[in-house]
Amino acid sequence: MEGPVRLQRILSRAGVASRRHAEELILAGRVQVNGETVRELGQRADPAGDVVAVDGVRVRLPEEATYLALHKPPGYLTTASDPGARPTVLSLVPAVPGLFPVGRLDAESEGLLLLTTDGEWGQRILHPRFGCTKEYLVEVEGRPTPGMLARLRRPMALDGGEWTTGATVRLVDSLPGRSLLRIVLGEGRNRQIRRMCAAVGHPVRHLVRVRVGAVLLGSLRAAEWRHLTWDEIARTAGGVPGDAPATPVGATPG
């Protein structure tokens, strides 16, 4: 955690209390910062330099975790290692013990990939019930008709007997021989968009993931990475700002 953040966040991440209960502790005058009692909810503190205590007992944050956003270039595998010695995404980010990619992007695709050492947070990103959607810009062959776009939006059968749960699909642009679609998924089946588009007769030419939950690809160039902010960590995991499960290395206040 870098820089001053609200006391509610510090108490929540330290496991002392929920955010709402933390507010009650502050209003009751039970929280101290550097020996001074705090009674205002807007008070901030820097965990790296300030001493935060509840009823005189110092609050200590849990073990640090790492949360990264990477712009995965084409040609890199979303795995920790490859028997064929092909390049993997872990070669593009710092060598942090326990770091793993959250979900996957196939080798031909590019765009936003999240990596973390926090297994619980990663599972929340992947499980559909937490509502973390993924957004893609997809160039396909030809121009899908309104009927084909409607078919992509509805639950549909894929090869292998799998079914999708439906998607948000919008035609962004169309040029001779190709079209650009914006697709939002609430699930992450293997090569799902490529299989969906192939099923309606419009194979994918190029695919870029531009968003995962609250995290945007933004201006990250291919092979560049950055730390996530507190707000991104909390909102992307299906929570609210201040409820992130651990202390992120290098994260900045949202």
Cβ atoms of 246 and 62 within 8 Å: the answer is yes
Alpha helix ranges (H) inside the chain: 7-13, 19-27, 119-126, 146-153, 192-199, 230-236
How far apart are alpha carbons 122 and 78 in whole angstroms? 14
Q: Known catalytic residue: 82?
A: no
Burial class (CB in 10 A: 0-12, 13-18, 19+), 176: exposed
Contacts of 62 (CB under 8 A, 6+ apart): 13, 14, 15, 246, 247
How far is it, in rounded angstroms, from Cα 186 to Cα 170?
A: 15
Which listed residue (46, 50, 55, 106) is catalytic? 106
CB distance 171 to 147 below 8 Å: no
Q: Give residue 56's identity as a one-letter amino acid code.
A: G
Distance CA 247, CA 162 (A): 38
- For the annotated catalytic residues, the residue numbers are 106
